[in-house]
Amino acid sequence: MKKLAIIILLVMGGLTSVKAQKFAYVDTQYILNNIPEYKMAQKQLNELSKKWQQEIETKVEAIDRMYKSYQTDAVLLPEDVKKQREDDIVQKEKELNQLKKKRFGTNGDLFKKRQELIKPIQDKIYNAIQSLAEQRGYSVIFDRAGSLSILYASARYDKSDDVLKSMGYSPGETGDNSGGTNKKHKTSMRR
């Protein structure tokens, strides 16, 4: 009987502490879409990516030309020249793979540039969210834009605009909601 009473007290105590917690959510994609610096950084990253992709495509075309030329000439070439041209093609393919890894690899140039341009903005958002949570007493703030599935969320718990305001931006400042959610759809179901 004593154990049952203790268990009931623990459960009641646990329910009381859960009820006292405050929750909110934000949509970081919406927040990012309302920050002009983020859009400029994305544009810069896209331009660099295109430039580097063109550089790679140029090298692929050069290797294709080398290979086609080799195939055309292979019958007439002495073995040592044939071997040298094969080695040249293999070497160019290795250089191409190294360039791809250097530009687009997990720690490549694009990743480093993204860290340089986007991470400070993300840190600023995180600090604003943390400050908002501390000021208003939120125990948990979810990110609706992430992998977390929120099937229903009341707009009154959405603190995305508050985060933007605390960072010095006006909600809807850019007038572009592409890629993000607009306020009319904040209470819609997501899957």
* C-alpha span between 71 and 79 (Å, rounded): 13
Give the model confidence (pLDDT) of 17-50 as tens digits: 555 678 888 889 999 999 999 999 999 999 999 9
In a domain, 84, yes or no: yes
Choice between 55 and 26, residue whose per-residue pLDDT is larger: 55
Residue 5 has pLDDT above 90, yes or no: no
In a domain, 190, yes or no: no
Residue 94 has pLDDT above 50, yes or no: yes
Most confident of 7-16, 83-92, 161-170, 178-187: 83-92
Q: Locate 30 and state its tokens.
A: 């919406």
Tally of domains in the chain: 1
Residue 71 has pLDDT above 80, yes or no: yes
pLDDT band at 171 (very low <50, low <70, confident <90, very high): confident
In a domain, 85, yes or no: yes
Dihedral of the alpha carbons of 105, 110, 112, 115, in degrees to the nearest 10: -120
Percent of the chain with pLDDT over 70: 75
Q: What DSSP assignment string belongs to 87-141? A: HHHHHHHHHHHHHHHHHHSTTSHHHHHHHHHHHHHHHHHHHHHHHHHHHHT-SEE
In a domain, 5, yes or no: no
Give the model confidence (pLDDT) of 73-92 as tens digits: 988 999 999 999 999 999 99
In a domain, 49, yes or no: yes
Residue 138 has a pLDDT of 83
Decide if 33 contacts 176 (C-beta within 8 A).
yes
In a domain, 52, yes or no: yes
**Long-range contacts of 109-113, Cβ-Cβ distance < 8 Å, separation of 24 or more:** 109/48, 109/52, 110/45, 110/48, 110/49, 110/52, 113/44, 113/45, 113/48
In a domain, 56, yes or no: yes
Q: Give the closest residue to 131 by CA, choosing from 123, 29, 158, 49.
A: 123
pLDDT band at 54 (very low <50, low <70, confident <90, very high): very high
In a domain, 54, yes or no: yes
pTM assigned to the model: 0.67
Residue range(s) defining the domain that contains residue 95: 22-185
Q: Write phi, then psi, for 143 (nearest 5 degrees).
A: -105, 110
Q: Locate 176 and state its tokens.
A: 């572009």
